[in-house]
Structure 1
């Protein structure tokens, strides 16, 4: 078996395990069972997974469950106890402890005081806190991406596929920028039908073989809001951009997609330190 064939085999296995993890977060995810899905011994498979993704399988499962839990805390009325149960924690105390260690405060306090609260309207109808907007002119950006259908909170599944495939095909480069393109309005399109694309920037010719697709971001002027904090909070920033900043700015929207550039990696920093530039296209 030559090297190219071997990596193609690993690529399919990485994709299969990643998809299974994202689709079964409500279930018990036994590490040996995941190795079985990869059709390899746990001894070897765990090492391959960590070499490609930079974290253990157990760390991935924990990170994804807490990411979903943060989204549930911010966007739903589910009780913290129910969210803890869905996240696989045997009791509320252990969930509170783990959540606080990652997000900086217990889940009940996060629901009341998390960074998403900064974007909520004051009693006078406007957001109490103002945020700096940078106006940037950019050139068109060439992207290589993996499409995703479903909740924007779950686009991580497509990013997992994107990066594991890039690695397996020897295409990953440290200069690649990580970008999410969002094609629908989540306030009017059902979550299960939302379209998005997990992307990286590319230069030159790249073979476009499934699951990849190419896309070009339009050049031009953008209003850029730098968001610091968990991805679960960002929908509030979008509402602020549309409801507060845009009318006050006197600017008009351009018929082009909004996109996000992720400036650091959720595997490397805690959710409270994540930096995201949200780009709104302007005429």
Structure 2
């Protein structure tokens, strides 16, 4: 193993540990031990790979969870969110949140600036050099859905998601607990101009969708053969699983693609579980 891959492996272990232990006290000494590296060198190695210190990474990981709590769990008080993020007081949390995101927690709760928020997370932890992904070929049943189209920057998809969540809550249609939730990207967000990007957010729903002020309408996800792989972890890295299907599995499988985009089924949600526990089925439609 070369030195870069060796350090990649160390940093990944540390990032995985942080994301899986946000509720615990995390120290630099502890992270150094996990990296099997002297604490005198660990922080420099981590920063050289990630562009920020390990302790800053811990803070941003907790703030990320707090952001989703604020935006999507209005029943959670800011005080509770502050203590969950390991702040000694709501005031200290508010100062730190405002310093990082340029909005106070209450401002963010009322009108989150997701585009600016995304800029604080423009770093990617290393991944394992060799990915092992289980892929199955299944018959996907046609789904009648209610959907909302997101048009524009991928960084603003969460604004559209919030509208869909509000529609679900206010109408009682397509309830999240008993309905399936899907996302359909019509192109690669990394290679598509903002004004050409489209992403549909869907929930299973039978029958007509009543007129509404949210822009939600009826739609259909067609049935047919699909390759499916489960992505575990942050939606920010879902492209890793998508690219695996296209670049490695598809050429080796001999299968041919159907004229419908790949799509995602969200098995849980970031305001319900920590990011590392997220489970998403990635479907690749086949002929």
Give the TM-score of the pair, scaled to structure 1: 0.59
Instruction: Within 5 Å, give how 1:207-246 maps onto structure 2.
Output: 207-210=210-213, 211-246=215-250
For the 8 Å contact 2:209–2:216, the answer to whether it is kept is no
* Equivalent residue for 2:204, pick from 196, 201, 205: 201
**1:179 aligned onto 2:182:** yes
Residue number in structure 1 paired with 2:151? 149
Deviation readout 1:227-270 (Å, 9 max, x if unpaired): 00001111122111111110011101111121100000111100
Residue number in structure 1 paired with 2:272? 268
Alpha-carbon distance between aligned partners in 1 of 2:211 and 2:263, rounded to the nearest angstrom: 21
Alpha-carbon distance between aligned partners in 2 of 1:64 and 1:161, rounded to the nearest angstrom: 16
Say if 1:130 and 1:172 are closer, same or farther in 2 by CA, change over 3 A. closer
Residue number in structure 2 paired with 1:190? 193
Provide structure 1 residue ranges, at least 5 long, that are not aligned to the other structure: 1-13, 18-24, 35-56, 75-110, 123-127
**1:29 aligned onto 2:79:** no
Alpha-carbon distance between aligned partners in 2 of 1:275 and 1:159, rounded to the nearest angstrom: 17
* Equivalent residue for 1:139, pick from 129, 138, 141: 141
For the 8 Å contact 2:227–2:283, the answer to whether it is kept is yes
* Equivalent residue for 2:160, pick from 158, 161, 179: 158
Alpha-carbon distance between aligned partners in 2 of 1:271 and 1:63, rounded to the nearest angstrom: 17
Q: CA RMSD in A?
A: 3.1
Decide which moves more: 200-209 or 240-249.
Answer: 200-209
Deviation readout 1:183-220 (Å, 9 max, x if unpaired): 12334322443111111111233314341122211110
Provide structure 2 residue ranges, at least 5 long, that are not aligned to the other structure: 1-70, 75-99
Alpha-carbon distance between aligned partners in 2 of 1:247 and 1:137, rounded to the nearest angstrom: 20
Say if 1:69 and 1:265 are closer, same or farther in 2 by CA, change over 3 A. same
Alpha-carbon distance between aligned partners in 2 of 1:212 and 1:254, rounded to the nearest angstrom: 26
Alpha-carbon distance between aligned partners in 2 of 1:212 and 1:137, rounded to the nearest angstrom: 27
Alpha-carbon distance between aligned partners in 2 of 1:179 and 1:62, rounded to the nearest angstrom: 24
**1:252 aligned onto 2:256:** yes
Alpha-carbon distance between aligned partners in 2 of 1:153 and 1:225, rounded to the nearest angstrom: 25
Say if 1:172 and 1:223 are closer, same or farther in 2 by CA, change over 3 A. closer
Give the TM-score of the pair, scaled to structure 2: 0.58
For the 8 Å contact 1:180–1:196, the answer to whether it is kept is yes
Count of residue correspondences = 189
Tell me how far 1:66 sits from its aligned partner.
7.2
For the 8 Å contact 2:157–2:199, the answer to whether it is kept is yes
Q: Secondary structure at the match of 1:155?
A: helix
